[in-house]
Structure 1
Amino acid sequence: MPHHTSYGYPYRHGRFGGVNRPTDNTELRQRLLGVKLKALVGDHLGTAVDAEPSGFRSGSGLVVDGRAWVLIDGDASRSLGPAIAWAIRHDAESLDLIAETATGLLARRAGYFSFPISVWFAEDRLLLPVVAEPHAPLPAARDEHTDLIATIEAGGAEPCIEHGVVTGEVRGLEVCRVVDEPTIGRLIDIGEIELSGQLGEPGVRLEVGVGVNDREAFQLLHGDLPTVDALSGVVEAVRSHRSADAPQHPLNRMAPERFLRWEAVNDPARVDMVSVEPASAPVPRPSMKDQAPAVAVGVDDGGRRNVLVFSSGVDLDLVPFALDAHAALAAWGDTELASEITLHLRDNDLVSITRDLAEHAAVTVRCSTLN
């Protein structure tokens, strides 16, 4: 069995006997990752690696005999796109991606590309090949949750069901959520992880607010207000800020990709469709703070069902996400999907590397800009 090894970084001594250290922790970590990557690749290939690694935002990479080796630092769930981009920008003929998290998801998404990609799990200094994990089944919303859709509509919000969770949105922004037990007084935030205790009365209820913390604060301040009245007030306040020509405000900077999807649902001709309906993403969005592409299915004038993916900002992982969305919808039973995917972005957000990634997809991925 391989033994655990720490990968140190040999500092250089300066002119006056001191040590020339990297200027900050980021530079130091990049160098450590480079040392670790060279050691992993050298051990795997059984030969010394002369290529010098170069760092990028998600990790470190090097090219050996046309093979790009990329080591991802930390959460790897959104790293496939940046890794492929690094590989093709360095004229590599294939990609070997090394990660310690989300490797099954990465292996699944790697299979959607014509560009040769292998995914490895790093266990100490041993690289283990990763098997693609299938999509998790799409859960259905429970009847006692969907019973509250009428209340959501009465308050002026638009019902939305994704991954079995019933919410109400205003122009793409969540303003209420159906929960099994009251969140009030029992929520603990640990970074980006939300943990719930067991206090509060059991049962199903509709909580009003933009995000879990806002729902808790709203209930503490307006707990005696009837749910429909409370929701109506929030809907009115949010709607005034959720328009393309509204002044900058926190409420229109949140979930911009879901606003683009909402525009398409209400004006399908905007995306050359007869009708557009929201769809679940391939994996649930971790929280409202996390920006993620929004998925929809559009029916064109020929009756074909097309996968549409809306994005805001430059997202190097957009193409792998979109390919995974198409495969997920098919796995969940939508067998009549057209084989191509359309990405919808604002003009300034469509960059050349996104088109390059799309060209390496195993199915047709079109890029379309929205004014």
Structure 2
Amino acid sequence: MPLDPERRAELQAIKLRALITEAGHDLGQTQPETLGQGSALILDNCCWLLADTERPEISLGQGILLAASRSLNELHVLFDHPQAAAKAARQAQGLKPAPTISLITERTLAPVTPGPVELAVTPLPCPDDFINLCSGAGVETVVEHGMWRGEILGLEVARLVDGITEVGVGRFDREAGALLHGDQPTSQALAAAADQVRAQRHPGAGAHPLATLVRERWLRHTLLADPTLVGLSDLAALDSATERTNLRDPAPAFAWGTNPDGQNVLVACSTGVDVNLVPQTAELIVRHQPDQVIVVVPPRDQLPVVEKSIQLLAAPTNLVPLEGPWT
């Protein structure tokens, strides 16, 4: 029988206190606080974070945001999962000062070797049939993590899987479309999907899901069309460090360009307060070594916690507010 949330939080707090005490720190009466499925404790201007048990991959980002919101100077993240710890240690290499990443081994904390830098996937050339199909429906062809896709204003409406074009917004829509409209010509299905997205995804768009999904990619689409909006000479889409698994959870959208001085610039588009923004940007800093980073957010999301957290990035970073094309 799964533990109820209160009991889980209590056990996480006990575990975190024990680990910090075992590491030689006097906690006194300081008590941890619940953070998602993890636990955090503030001690001597340092944030100690016991990683989320369900989603350890977001724990570094959680700690960064918490430390930024409390103006703390140090961050120590403790993991039970070796793979999550190795990934966090790799991301930490793109931060300054770098958080301390530790792996829990029974009641002690062990240092973590950063995981190897993952290389970007080299895609195969896009088949002419897919290009022509997308072009006929007014859909933009893009490639991400080695897979060719068709997008409308940053929202995927088709993808090429093993030579077969799957039409739909998201996995469930693609699967449902294949079952319900399997006898419909692909060109007709794609045109219908594209028209449906265009009807909702436009300036002044409301709260319809098609207008609110992956707005960070919509923001990137705007910059790709006009890099001068952020003072760049050119700009191209760049794979994120981690492929997103769905359309609902926030995830930064990246691009790579040059400024008028010829410097390489990494652009990260984000909306809201995204726990993945700083860790994923840090990982791309490690991978690509940009001269500069530009983080682009809608003006309403230019929040103090975002401004403070991105200053941890190891490359010179500017925060640029830009009205979303949906306004």
TM score, norm. by length of structure 2: 0.88
CA distance in 2, matches of 1:298, 1:93: 32
Equivalent AA in structure 2 for residue 340 of structure 1: Q
CA offsets per residue over residues 126-166 of structure 1, 9 Å max, x none?
Answer: 32211111222222223576763332223321111111011
Offset from partner CA, 1:66-100 (integer Å, 9 cap, x none): 54321112212122232133335556442221022
After superposition, the Cα gap between the structure-2 partners of 1:300 and 1:115, relative to the gap in structure 1 and judged at 3 Å, is: closer
- Equivalent of 2:61 in 69, 77, 81: 81
How does 1:90-105 map onto structure 2 within 5 Å? Answer: 90=70, 92-101=72-81, 102-105=84-87
Contact 2:94–2:285 (8 Å) recurs in 1: no
| Matched residues, number | 317
- Residue by residue over 1:208-248, the C-alpha shift from the partner in whole angstroms, topping out at 9 and shown as x without a partner, is 11111111211222222222222122112211211131232
1:163–1:284 contact (8 Å) kept in structure 2: yes
Does the Cα contact within 8 Å between 1:81 and 1:357 map onto a contact in 2? no
User: Helix, strand or coil for the counterpart of 1:141?
Assistant: coil
Partner amino acid, structure 2, of 1:232? A
Which of the numbers 176, 188, 196 marks the counterpart of 1:217? Answer: 176
Q: Which residue pairs with 2:143 in the alignment?
A: 161
Alignment partner of 1:302: what SS?
coil
Per the alignment, residue 101 of structure 2 pairs with 119
Provide, for residues 335-355 of structure 1, a one-character-per-residue CA deviation record: whole Å limited to 9, x for no partner: xx4x11010001111211122
CA contact under 8 A between 1:156 and 1:231: conserved in structure 2? no
Picking from 226, 229, 244, the partner of 1:267 is 226
User: Which segment is superposed worse, 227-236 or 265-274?
Assistant: 265-274
The match for 1:193 is: none
SS at match of 1:169: strand
1:10-159 alignment runs, 5 A limit: 25-45=4-24, 49-50=27-28, 51-57=30-36, 59-74=38-53, 75-87=55-67, 89-90=69-70, 92-101=72-81, 102-143=84-125, 148-159=130-141
Give the equivalent residue in structure 1 for 2:157.
175
CA RMSD of aligned residues (A): 2.4
Deviation at 1:299, TM superposition (A): 3.1
Classify the secondary structure of the residue corresponding to 2:216.
Answer: helix
Q: Distance in 2 between matches of 1:272 and 1:172?
A: 21
The residue type paired with residue 42 of structure 1 is T
CA distance in 1, matches of 2:122, 2:71: 45
Query: 3-state DSSP class of the match of 1:70?
Result: strand
The amino acid of 1:87's aligned partner reads A
Q: Which amino acid aligns with 2:218?
A: F
Shift of 1:48: 5.7
The residue that corresponds to 2:215 in the other structure is 256
The separation in 2 between residues aligned to 1:58 and 1:302, in whole angstroms, is 46
| Range 52-61 or range 100-109, more displaced | 52-61
Matched, 1:312 2:255: no
| 2:102/2:109 contact within 8 Å kept | yes
Cα offset, 1:111, TM superposition: 1.9
Moved more, 253-262 or 303-312: 303-312
For 2:205, the aligned partner's letter is: A
Higher relative CO (Cα under 8 Å, sequence separation at least 6) belongs to 2
> Given that residues 270 and 296 in structure 2 are in contact (C-alpha distance below 8 angstroms), is that contact kept between their aligned partners in structure 1?
yes
More deviation, 150-159/290-299:
150-159
CA contact (8 A) 2:227 2:233 kept: yes
Take 1:285 and 1:105, find their aligned partners in 2: how far apart are those partners? 16
Q: Which residue of 2 aligns with 1:362?
A: 314
Sequence identity (%): 30
Output one character per residue of 1:15-41: Cα deviation in whole Å (capped at 9) or x when no partner.
xxxxxxxxx943433222111101112
Which deviates the most, 80-89 or 133-142?
80-89
Q: Distance in 2 between matches of 1:43 and 1:152?
A: 59
SS in 2 for 1:368: strand
- SS of 1:313's equivalent in the other structure is coil
Q: Cα gap change, 1:178/1:91 in structure 2, threshold over 3 Å: closer, same or farther?
A: closer
TM-superposition CA deviations, 1:299-346 (whole Å, max 9, x none)? 33334331111011112442222222233335xxxxxx4x11010001
Describe the superposition over 1:40-81 as per-residue Cα deviations: whole angstroms up to 9, x where unpaired: 122233x66423222333522224455432111221212223
CA contact (8 A) 1:273 1:300 kept: yes
Q: Which has the higher helix share?
A: 2
Where does residue 246 of structure 1 map in the other structure?
A: 205
